[in-house]
A and B are shown apart, each in its own frame.
Chain A
Amino acid sequence: MTTAHTGRSDENEPFVIYPARRVITINPAFPFGEAVAVSGDRILGVGSADELASWGGHRVDDRFAEHVLMPGFIEAHCHVMSGGLWNSTYVGYFDRRDPQGLLWPGCTSIDDVLERLGKAAADMTDDSQTLLAWGLDPIYFPGERLVARHLDTVTGDRPTLILHASGHLATINSALMDRCGIDETATSPGVARGGDGLPNGELHEPAGMMLAGEAFADMMQANRSEQARWRYANEARNAGHTLLTDLGTTQLWDPEQLGNWKKVTSDAAYPARVMVAMSNLFGATADPAELAELCVKLKSEQTDKLRFGIVKLILDGSIQGFTARISWPHYYKPPPGHIGNGMWLTAPDQMADLMEPYHRAGLTVHCHCNGDEATEAFVQAVEQVLERYPRWDHRHTVQHCQLTTPDQYRRMAALGMCANIFSNHIYYWGDQHRDVTVGPERAARMDACATALASGVSFSIHSDSPITPLGHLHTAWCAVNRVTASGEVLGPDERIGVPDALRAITIEAARQIKMDGEIGSIEAGKLADFAVLEDDPLSVDPMALRDIGVWGTVLGGVLQPAQISDV
């Protein structure tokens, strides 16, 4: 352990005993307690209040007497842009709570989207400002397409841009098209056209979106700010999380981005620990060997709240975007003109060489693999680097792991690999996966937590926020119930029990970022990171798991009440 800790408090600073309705420790040797004792930033012990009192000078704090304490939730796959996007207006299909705790109801029709934008435009005072919005997913509005002429009815002359949930498309209004010179003479294939042959305001892929100029650039720049980092952690705290990962959105060699991380996490009030992955996803100034060296250096300087040591790589795209690499028979009902399979973002036969420097430096490689062909390429690369440089306990992790097959899970177990499974997909896109992307059979075995469990692969589950909303009670609910947005159970045989889901969002998540010695369970000596819940996840109906209220968290002994502003 590299972190300094305060140890037992002295006579002048007595430790605190928090009696609770129940303490769920996730420590199999001592699964439940009636109270937890906290000394400084550490857990002094779990047990009954009387047992804990025998440690000596203490005070009792009864504020959690009716609450259930769990280890703070650990999100091992999300992105700091989930904080930056809240600078813009949310127009997604599902309800979402912002970092201030305000609930934004989902926009379930195009009219809802327009109403939301009209209100946002009316609230703006600076006439020169562009209205930015995010979260639109046309997959939920089949047959109808939101285009510029719709936007114009509510935004008027104010330039407006909506970034779609996929991140691959944007829709802009006529005012912004005029400002950017996008008209009938546009030649870019990234400028979509309507039935009349004229640009309809939809911009595809970076080549199209960049034509929106500063509006798009402003949206991306917002992710680098201190404010984005605060919002990202506030949203997490509101959902019971105490550790977040930033998986490949930060350019760690950029002093400004790294500096902003150091600045916010050194603030005692900052409500989360953050594990920032090294990544070359969006370009790099150095080769992998230099990045590995930088990561090792950063790890040697890490603090309690700002952690390093994992590396994010990426092999393929997304399933709902038809860009994930999926084995034959590939996609079920791809859109017209689709090339048949998804795309590689890294050459599969280059993977072993690419990860070797990180592997040799003792770092843990987390690789984005949505399709099973991507998983296959990554597992093979791990086999290759292990043959070249045998290494115990690397914990290289398949991220997303959505279509990983049983034989791949068996190989992963044999190799000592971990999985981080995108269980939220079952709810948010499960219906589309069954009906459109991969068909009923493969949709039923997607995000296969039960197979991972049976194969002996350590696994966590995740939200990939901002792709889906952050909140481990909801993510656990998805893994336990496998209920889609339309209310159907998708692949009942891959459901897992609540106890296994609770392990997945705590100790198993800690394990794949190599922090399971410090966090992930409530036991003597670990950091005092708790999720403070209004009800007992092991007692409620599993279908009510996601409805459990969250008081907030305790982070390193510091109380972090959630901000919820229901109106």
Chain B
Amino acid sequence: MNNQKSNFKFLEHTADIKFQAFGKSLEEVFENSALAMFNSMFDGKVKKTQKFKVKAEGKDNENLLYNFLEELIVLFDGKQFFLSGVEKIKIKDGKLQAEVVGDKAENYEINIDVKAITYSEMFVKKKGSEWIAQVVLDV
């Protein structure tokens, strides 16, 4: 996995997983949010043997991020797909299209089951030239 810790960081939360992701653009902060979510489940190297196209829509950036991450959880539960990278990502007018790569989940020792994305303490905002997203995952 592209495990550059500077692209995201985990914050203290009693029961669940809370992270912040960073990026120079909205696309980049979404990409890093996806990487953070999968990193919370397994933080080793993941092969790129599969590719999926993902689409999501949202009324605002938070809603769009929620829906994007949820698509990835559905792929994980339904197809046992474990994400290792986001190859293409485009966001325009609340619509997101992406291509994600990864491998079969059973090949890794995954220690956390992300049940859902939550709106709890969630934000997506621009601070100066940097985008920051904060997400709490229900695990």
Q: Do A and B bind each other?
A: no
